[in-house]
Amino acid sequence: MNAQPKIERHPSTCPHDCPSACSLQVEVIDGKTIGRVHGDPAQSYTAGVICAKVARYAERIHHPDRLLHPLIRKGPKGSGEFQRISWDEALAMTAERFLEAEKRYGSETVWPYYYAGTMGFVQRDGINRLRHAKNYSGFFSTICVNMAWSGFIAGTGRLAGVDPREMAKSDVVVIWGTNPVSTQVNVMTHAMKARKERGAKIVVIDLYRTDTLKQADLGLVVRPGTDGALACAVMHVLFRDGFADREYLRDFTDVPEELESHLQSRDPAWAAAITGLTVEEIEAFAKLVGENKRTYLRLGYGFGRQRNGAVNMHAASCIAAVTGSWKVEGGGAFHNNGAIYHWRKSLIEGLDIRNPRIRMLDQSRIGPILVGEPDALRRPDGSDGPPVTALLIQNTNPVNVAPEQAKVVRGFAREDLFTVVHEQFMTDTAKMADLVLPATQFMEHDDMYQGGGHQHIMLGLKLVEPPGECRSNHDLICDLARRLGAEHEGFAMNEREIIDWTLQNSGWGTFDELATGNFRDVQPSFEEAHYLKGFAYGDKRFKFKPDWPKVPFANIGPLGPWKDMPGLPDHWAVTEEPDAEHPFKLATSPARSFLNSTFVETPSSKKREGRPEVMINPADAARLAIADGAKVELGNVRGTVILHAKLTEQTRAGTLVAEGIWPNDAHEGGRGINTLTSADAVAPFGGAAFHDNKAWIRPL
């Protein structure tokens, strides 16, 4: 008889690019196989709940399509024809080609390109140590957070807010521009607790009827890019009806009188015409906020992904300063807690050896950069920079997720570009590489994490041996550094040593202390989180009127049309508006069972998501003779994409929503959804307006 399998439970942390950063309990069977993955009930934000896709992680870690060996391209670029080689050959070739490229064009011709496929500090950010040691081109990260973060910081001066667990003590929870049922499930845990225990009202604001919005007491479906107008009208009503906290405004904000007079003309009728909401809906929302001091604004990323996204995020955050709800438990606003951790990352990132004169290249503009558009390659002093002729890519899939995909694909196809992709799967990006190197997954290496949507520092340690010849990012970077002659003490340390140094130098204890419980709650005091002693600007005041280029977010200077930004909260009409040729607005919102381009390979996610679809209101579809399930083409100035129509009242007339970033070849014709999105830099610090596209649609 076979012995019973031995199942152990080990703590870990979800490494994926998600504000929830859940604490996990992982079943390990016989020391080598992953079983069910559970939320850790002991971590008070995770509270035992995780999303379905990570609960079934066994499907991903033991997937038959995982990359197991280094591969070298055999056929033409993008043909998918590869042949196995050894790690030693692959890294020797990488070093040789990088050194050659450097000799020919200077060090800035090499561009290490990475993102948050893992949020682990060592595995994600260690690539920067190599970049600084070698003076390779810098990576200015813009694809995700820039509009939302700068918009939030514009008011408060700091990326931090009220403890998200306090949502459970609120009377009104406003879930704005995020779809947590899909994208960060734990928000719902705490919001629903408030409803259950206190009868709290839930307000959800989105551009379509999401699964989150369906659960709301008040669901507001706005025209894309009009949240600034909604926020202004809400504040107009708050001033008009005596809900503004005048004492708070006097003591804690910059220009309350100027704001009040500016808002006089921004009444609900004005906002109704812009947002597509009714005056009654806007009045009802404002009344709820005005009558309930314990109103918690949970502001998401999604409504930042518009060309006016930073302005809209700032406008929404201003509401809590008008009512003074920041003062009370369960009141105030929250977006992300990035600022509470005060990390010292010089060992991980090699910040001590950084040369500030090296150019920074904009992550979102990888298409324009690779096709050689001169403005995209420029140095900070305005001089022309060299072309990018070598790429090292970890934890990201730009050929699929970056905007202006036609340019991205054209750039990756360049014969004079040498591309190394370190991956877990044969992604759209890996398919375009010269070398594909197999990477470990999070349960196969050590790392440390922080919660964006909460307040914990967490560990995820190696639980099982990696399959095949998979190597961790850290391992690869250190080996390559040696071959390239790059020097830094971090290249000679292991993950645990780097974590220990970073914790100690940031004031968070030691590795061993953190390993005891696997996570540490670092929630700042009530006083600090509620800004009771003032906001994080020099004058301690919340800024209704931010000086946009000086918002303390990025130090590379403003980007996009920042000079035209309104001083006070407003509707800033710079979104890509429909016209006669492109009568629709298209948003590319997240799919529940994918995480960006991750999980597109797991059977249960594939099954749930079905096929690439675009949601269209039945009235619009009838006018265009588009039947439910019909094959359709979407297009705009940037290209065309083929998918299937889903007729649904979930979308407003005039708005189209294509959920998820499907692999490019899941679409007939091989062009993915980002063929339609734009790489225009968004004000004030860059970013991609993924949900802000004009488009046409036609049946095929």
Given the rule CB under 5 A, which residues bind Mo ion? 144
When asked if residue 394 is in the footprint of ligand MGD (CB under 6 A), the reply is: yes
Q: Given the DSSP bridges, would you call strands 23-29 and 7-13 parallel, antiparallel or unpaired?
A: antiparallel
Least separation in angstroms between residue 406's CB and ligand MGD is 14
Distance CA 456, CA 475 (A): 26
Q: Which of 16, 201, 541, 652 binds ligand SF4 (CB under 6 A)?
A: 16
Least separation in angstroms between residue 509's CB and ligand SF4 is 23
- The site partner of 205 among ligand MGD, Mo ion, ligand SF4, none (C-beta below 5 to 8 Å per kind) is ligand MGD
When asked if residue 228 is in the footprint of ligand MGD (CB under 6 A), the reply is: no
When asked if residue 90 is in the footprint of ligand SF4 (CB under 6 A), the reply is: no
When asked if residue 187 is in the footprint of ligand SF4 (CB under 6 A), the reply is: no
When asked if residue 364 is in the footprint of ligand MGD (CB under 6 A), the reply is: no
Other CB atoms closer than 10 Å to residue 104's CB: what's the count? 10
Least separation in angstroms between residue 383's CB and ligand SF4 is 42
The token pair at 610 is 């079905």
What is the distance of C-alpha 19 from the center of its chain? 8
When asked if residue 502 is in the footprint of ligand MGD (CB under 6 A), the reply is: no
Least separation in angstroms between residue 240's CB and ligand MGD is 23
Distance CA 198, CA 331 (A): 14
Other CB atoms closer than 10 Å to residue 298's CB: what's the count? 27
β-partners of residue 27 are 9
Question: Of how many residues is the chain composed?
Answer: 700
β-partners of residue 13 are 23
| Choices 14-22, 77-85, 454-462, 665-673 (CB under 6 A): range interacting with ligand SF4 | 14-22
| Choices 103-111, 223-231, 520-528, 531-539 (CB under 6 A): range interacting with ligand MGD | 223-231
Residue with the CB atom nearest ligand MGD in the bound state: 302
- C-beta separation of 116 from 395 below 8 A: yes
Residues 131-170 that bind ligand MGD (CB under 6 A): 143-144
Other CB atoms closer than 10 Å to residue 83's CB: what's the count? 11
Residues 395-414 that bind ligand MGD (CB under 6 A): 395-397, 401
**If you search the block for the tokens 């024809």, which residue do you land on?**
81
Which residues lie closer than 8 Å to 226 by C-beta, 6 or more apart? 271, 274, 275, 276, 312, 571
**If you search the block for the tokens 């290490």, which residue do you land on?**
112
| Choices 29-37, 113-121, 515-523, 629-637 (CB under 6 A): range interacting with ligand MGD | 113-121
Least separation in angstroms between residue 138's CB and ligand MGD is 17
Residues 18-57 that bind ligand SF4 (CB under 6 A): 18, 20-22, 50-51, 54
Distance CA 241, CA 335 (A): 28
DSSP states of 356-394 as a string?
A: TTS-EEEGGGHHHHHTT-HHHH--TTSPPPPPP-EEEEE
- C-beta separation of 656 from 697 below 8 A: yes
Peptide bond into 684 cis (omega under 30): yes
Distance CA 124, CA 473 (A): 8
Least separation in angstroms between residue 18's CB and ligand SF4 is 3
Whichever of 204 and 559 has its CB closer to ligand MGD, that residue is 204
Residues binding ligand MGD (CB under 6 A) = 17-18, 115-118, 123, 143-144, 177-179, 182-184, 205-208, 210, 222, 224-225, 227, 300-303, 305-306, 394-397, 401, 422-425, 427, 439, 473, 587-592, 594-598, 661, 673-674, 677, 690-691
Residues binding ligand SF4 (CB under 6 A) = 14, 16, 18, 20-22, 50-51, 54, 184-185, 595
